[in-house]
């Protein structure tokens, strides 16, 4: 018996066999037959739509919209005809709205992915402070990701539940080896072709240089942490800072501009092969260079900026490929975060992956490295013509302007967390949404159209619905809070009514009975069939009520992190939160070019609103309980 064979046998005895990934990687982790997403009744959507307008439009505008709604849903009118067509669509498709939603919300949007679209997850600082720790952590992270991927490949990923319902798990498999592709009019999504084995490598980027790192041995077993670490050291040795072009910033540009630059880039064979390698890789790991230190109070917001956009063309933005679905960002100072592109998936599956990977990093599976020679990581070269260099210069300027314009404020509210609200028999999410209404009202003297994302994963291929959180009940509450003649018992009762109304809207949205996807479906059905767009959608109330000045969302994770994204309108805010048992993490963003908005001011108003809500519930600012429910 040869020496290699003997060593192999010894190694195999110490290490449990790992099944080789097979060709059917991307079957659903869930074999649950989930229900199809229902199509709401036209009359119910219309009634809910009119109710949602009450706190936002003038009585005259509301009257005009009531008239339009009456015409729209007149017997045998436009509404009936479009609803009938939607019913037929719902009968023949797996999900009647998901493809249209992804197309209109993401792929047709021409705004840059950076700041405007892709959310970032800001994670706690890790326990290292130099490049050695950075590489060691990156190795564990990659191993943790492969461990999670094995659960998908071997269909051992447990089905998730929310409020007692099993959730669609399809998004998990699509997070790996996928990428958004820019197009001149609209983008598309690159996924591994069904039945074909996806990539077996990840992309690593450092000092603007991209590498293809194989993460499976030739026998199909995943590389061990030590093997990955060894490979990362080789990448570091080959990626010293030179005057490299920050090619990655091209992907941060306006989609039309990037679409044109992409066509130029892909004309060259070398560029085509390198770009395809990045697009098809399982995910990207960005090894960021050190960034300027800031005061402790600004540290969380600075970290959020690094994760969201990379800090600018002179900082780490060239270490990103914004089109890539999953990018893990690791700094030398222990900073860690994730940036993801959301045409493929929403935040909750990403948060679950992060929880898994961080658990894995704390207790990694120690496997002895097999004695199989490893291929060196492959550097991905690009050919920079003068045209491409000019495109990069433009993209750098645009990104730096966008970054200067972004105002970010991340903070932890320490007064209470979801446990206190649960003890009061209130939905924590609904209380936070009502508190956000109070904060905005105090900052701007009125309520504004507010969107909160609710998951539709109870249904096969479901994505999200919008909860319209500005309601007549929340308006009554916020007015009561700042009305001196209103006493605390009455304010508490108004708070509970507002929370109750929000909880009802949440339940409707989660059950596929929300307003916004149905309205979108009716409008797109008219366009698809070449009909005139109904007057209802040309009405001021429709435009005003879906101009999301407050774009909000809860992305809950066990990890002490928060998600962060930019506002969706120039004079609005992006607000995201993670309610943990005894505190809540928030991120607030706004644009500096807008005189009226200010992230720090809104953040202060949110903290004050939560203090006031806590006080109504008998909770001191320090978390002390004056009165038990
Ligand atoms: N009394 C006591 N406890 C209550 C309660 C009440 N009246 N109402 C809710 N709770 C409990 C729940 O049981 C839950 O308990 P758990 O922590 O043990 O699980 C907890 O409070 C949280 O519930 P709640 O705050 O009501 O909401 P939720 O966690 O169900 O979240 C949504 C609501 C809408 C945010 C969530 O369903 C969802 O859709 N999330 C995805 C959002 C998304 O896709 N975002 C993407 C943005 S990129």
- In the reported structure, the alpha carbon of residue 508 is separated from the centroid of ligand 1 by a whole-number distance in angstroms of 14
- Burial profile 544-553: b = 16 or more Cβ within 10 angstroms, e = fewer: bbbebbbbbb
SS (H, E, C) 514-555: CCHHHHHHHHHHHHHCCCCCCHHHCCHHHHHHCCCCEEEEEC
**Whether residue 113 has its Cβ less than 6 Å from ligand 1:** no
Determine the residue of 428, 450, 500 to mutate for testing ligand 1's pocket, defined as the one with the most ligand atoms within 8 A of the Cβ atom: 428
Provide the 3-class DSSP secondary structure of residue 186. Answer: coil
Nearest to 505 by CA among 427, 409, 601: 427
Q: Is 428 in the pocket of ligand 1 (CB under 6 A)?
A: yes
Distance from Cα 428 to the centre of ligand 1, integer Å: 7
What Cα–Cα distance (Å) separates residue 415 from each residue in 374, 442, 478?
52, 20, 20
Ligand 1 in contact with 454 (CB < 6 A)?
yes
Instruction: Judge if the beta carbon of residue 555 lies within 6 A of ligand 1.
Output: yes
- CA of 425, closest atom in ligand 1: 1
Query: Which strand (E) or helix (H) includes residue 189?
Result: strand 188-190
- List the chain domain ranges: 118-406, 414-618
Q: How far is the CA of 608 from the centre of ligand 1 (A)?
A: 23
Q: State if residue 471 touches ligand 1 by the CB under 6 angstroms criterion.
A: no
Burial of 622 per CB tally in 10 Å (0-12, 13-18, 19+): exposed
Element of type H or E holding 444: helix 428-444
Q: What is the distance in A from the centroid of ligand 1 to the CA of 511?
A: 14
Q: Is 164 in the pocket of ligand 1 (CB under 6 A)?
A: no
Top mutation candidate among 427, 432, 553, 562 for ligand 1, by most atoms within 8 Å of CB: 427
For residue 563, which atom of ligand 1 is closest to its CA?
48
Tokens of 528: 């698809």
For atom 5 of ligand 1, the residue with the nearest CA is 427
Residue 433 CB–ligand 1 contact under 6 Å: no
SS3 content of the chain, % helix, strand, coil (to 5): 45, 15, 40
CATH number of 118-406: 3.30.559.70
Cα torsion 475, 478, 480, 484 to 10°: value is: -140
Largest Cα separation within the chain, whole Å, is 92
Contact 569, 576 (CB under 8 A): no
The Cα 111–Cα 574 span in angstroms is 16
Q: What CATH class is the domain 414-618?
A: alpha beta
**Residue 179 to residue 440: CA distance in whole angstroms:** 36
H or E element: which one contains 506? helix 488-510
- 429 Cβ closer than 6 Å to some ligand 1 atom: yes
Task: Find out whether the beta carbon of 341 lies less than 6 Å from any atom of ligand 1.
Answer: no
> What is the distance between the alpha carbons of residues 160 and 175, in angstroms, rounded to a whole number?
16
Cα separation, 515 vs 509, in Å, equals: 8
Which residues are registered as beta bridge partners of 181?
188
Residue of 498, 504, 509 whose CA lies nearest to 441: 498
562-564 and 550-554 as β-strands: parallel, antiparallel, unpaired?
unpaired
Residue nearest to atom 42 of ligand 1 (CA): 454
What's the CA-to-centroid distance between 166 and ligand 1, angstroms? 14
Cβ of residue 118 lying under 6 Å from some atom of ligand 1: no
pLDDT at 624: 59
Choose which residue among 37, 450, 550, 554 to substitute to test ligand 1 binding: the one with the highest number of ligand atoms within 8 A of its C-beta.
Answer: 554
Give CA torsion, residues 514, 517, 523, 529, to 10 deg. Answer: -120
CA angle 205/209/210 to nearest 5° reads 55
Whats the size of the chain, residue-wise? 629
Distance between Cα 289 and ligand 1 center (Å)? 38
> Separation of 429 CA from ligand 1 center, angstroms?
6
Q: Count Cβ neighbours within 10 Å for each residue of 48-79 and write b for 16 or more, e otherwise.
A: bbeebbebbbeeebeebbeebbeebbeeeebb
CA 452 to ligand 1 centroid distance, Å: 12
Cα angle value 514/556/177 (rounded, 5°): 90
Nearest one of 162, 47, 622 to 427, comparing CA atoms: 162
Query: Three-state DSSP class for 35?
Result: coil
Q: How far is CA 43 from the centre of its chain?
A: 33
Q: What is the pLDDT of residue 621?
A: 53
Q: How far apart are CA 446 and CA 259, in angstroms?
A: 40
In this structure, how many other beta carbons lie within 10 angstroms of the beta carbon of residue 192?
18
Whether 191 and 178 have beta carbons less than 8 Å apart is answered as yes
Q: Give 100 Cα–ligand 1 centroid separation in angstroms.
A: 27
Cβ(348) to ligand 1 under 6 A?
Answer: yes
Q: Which tokens sit at 16?
A: 């449990």
Task: Give residue 120's Cα distance to chain centre.
Answer: 7
- Cβ of 310 below 6 Å from ligand 1: no
Q: To the nearest 10°, the Cα dihedral for 355, 361, 363, 364?
A: 120
- Cα(452)–Cα(465) distance, rounded to whole angstroms? 8
Ligand 1 center to 116 CA (angstroms): 26
Burial of 235: CB neighbours in 10 Å, binned 0-12, 13-18, 19+: buried
pLDDT number for residue 20: 37
Give pLDDT, residue 367: 81
| Atom from ligand 1 closest to the CA of residue 503 | 26
CA–centroid distance, residue 119 to ligand 1 (Å): 20
Residue 462 CB less than 6 A away from ligand 1: no
Q: What is the mean pLDDT of each run of 10 residues along the chain (629 residues)?
A: 38 36 40 88 98 98 98 94 97 97 97 98 95 98 97 94 96 96 94 88 97 94 96 96 88 97 97 98 96 82 95 96 98 97 95 96 84 91 96 98 97 97 97 98 98 98 98 98 96 98 98 98 93 94 98 96 97 98 98 98 98 91 51
**DSSP bridge partners of 567:** none
């Amino acid at each position: 018996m040869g020496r290699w064979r003997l060593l192999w046998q010894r190694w195999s005895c110490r290490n449990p066999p790992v099944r080789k990934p097979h060709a059917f990687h991307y079957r659903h982790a869930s074999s649950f037959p989930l229900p199809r997403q229902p199509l709401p009744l036209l009359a119910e959507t219309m009634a809910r739509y009119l109710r949602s307008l009450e706190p936002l439009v003038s009585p005259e505008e509301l009257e005009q919209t009531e008239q339009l709604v009456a015409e729209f849903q007149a017997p045998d009118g436009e509404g009936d005809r479009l609803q009938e067509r939607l019913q037929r669509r719902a009968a023949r498709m797996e999900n009647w709205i998901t493809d249209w939603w992804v197309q209109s919300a993401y792929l047709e949007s021409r705004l840059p992915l950076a700041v405007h679209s892709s959310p970032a997850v800001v994670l706690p600082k890790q326990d290292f402070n130099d490049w050695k720790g950075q590489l060691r952590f990156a190795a564990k992270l990659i191993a943790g990701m492969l461990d999670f991927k094995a659960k998908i490949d071997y269909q051992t990923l447990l089905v998730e539940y929310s409020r007692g319902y099993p959730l669609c798990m399809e998004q998990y498999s699509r997070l790996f080896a996928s990428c958004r592709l820019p197009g001149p009019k609209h983008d598309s999504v690159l996924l591994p072709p069904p039945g074909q084995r996806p990539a077996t490598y990840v992309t690593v980027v450092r000092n603007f240089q991209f590498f293809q790192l194989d993460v499976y041995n030739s026998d199909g077993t995943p590389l061990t942490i030590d093997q990955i670490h060894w490979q990362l050291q080789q990448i570091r040795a080959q990626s010293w800072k030179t005057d490299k072009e920050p090619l990655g910033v091209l992907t941060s540009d306006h989609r039309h501009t990037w679409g044109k630059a992409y066509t130029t880039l892909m004309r060259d064979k070398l560029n085509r092969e390198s770009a395809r390698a990045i697009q098809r890789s399982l995910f990207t790991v960005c090894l960021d260079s050190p960034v300027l230190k800031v005061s402790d109070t600004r540290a969380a917001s600075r970290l959020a900026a690094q994760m969201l956009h990379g800090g600018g063309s002179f900082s780490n933005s060239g270490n990103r490929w914004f089109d890539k679905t999953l990018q893990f960002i690791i700094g030398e100072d222990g900073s860690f975060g994730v940036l993801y592109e959301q045409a493929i998936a929403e935040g909750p599956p990403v948060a679950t992956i992060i929880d898994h990977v961080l658990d894995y990093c704390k207790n990694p599976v120690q496997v002895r490295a097999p004695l199989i020679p490893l291929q060196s990581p492959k550097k991905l070269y690009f050919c920079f013509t003068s045209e491409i260099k000019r495109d990069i210069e433009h993209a750098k300027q645009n990104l730096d302007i966008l970054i200067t314009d972004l105002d970010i404020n991340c903070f932890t509210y320490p007064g209470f967390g979801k446990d206190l609200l649960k003890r009061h028999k209130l939905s924590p999410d609904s209380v936070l949404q009502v508190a956000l209404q109070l904060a905005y009202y105090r900052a701007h003297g009125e309520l504004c159209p507010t969107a909160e994302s609710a998951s539709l994963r109870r249904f096969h291929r479901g994505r999200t619905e919008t909860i319209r959180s500005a309601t007549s009940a929340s308006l009554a509450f916020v007015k009561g809070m700042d009305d001196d003649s209103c006493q605390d018992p009455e304010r508490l009762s108004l708070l509970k009514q507002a929370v109750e109304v929000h909880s009802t809207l949440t339940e409707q949205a989660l059950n596929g009975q929300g307003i916004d996807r149905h309205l979108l479906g009716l409008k797109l059905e008219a366009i698809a069939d070449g009909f005139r767009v109904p007057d209802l959608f040309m009405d001021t109330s429709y435009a005003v009520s879906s101009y999301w000045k407050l774009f909000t969302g809860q992305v809950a994770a066990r990890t002490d992190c928060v998600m962060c994204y930019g506002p969706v309108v120039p004079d609005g805010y992006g607000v995201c939160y993670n309610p943990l048992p005894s505190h809540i993490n928030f991120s607030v963003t706004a644009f500096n070019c807008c005189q009226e908005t200010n992230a720090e001011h809104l953040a202060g108003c949110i903290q004050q609103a939560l203090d006031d809500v806590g006080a109504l519930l008998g909770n001191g600012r320090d978390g002390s309980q004056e009165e038990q429910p």
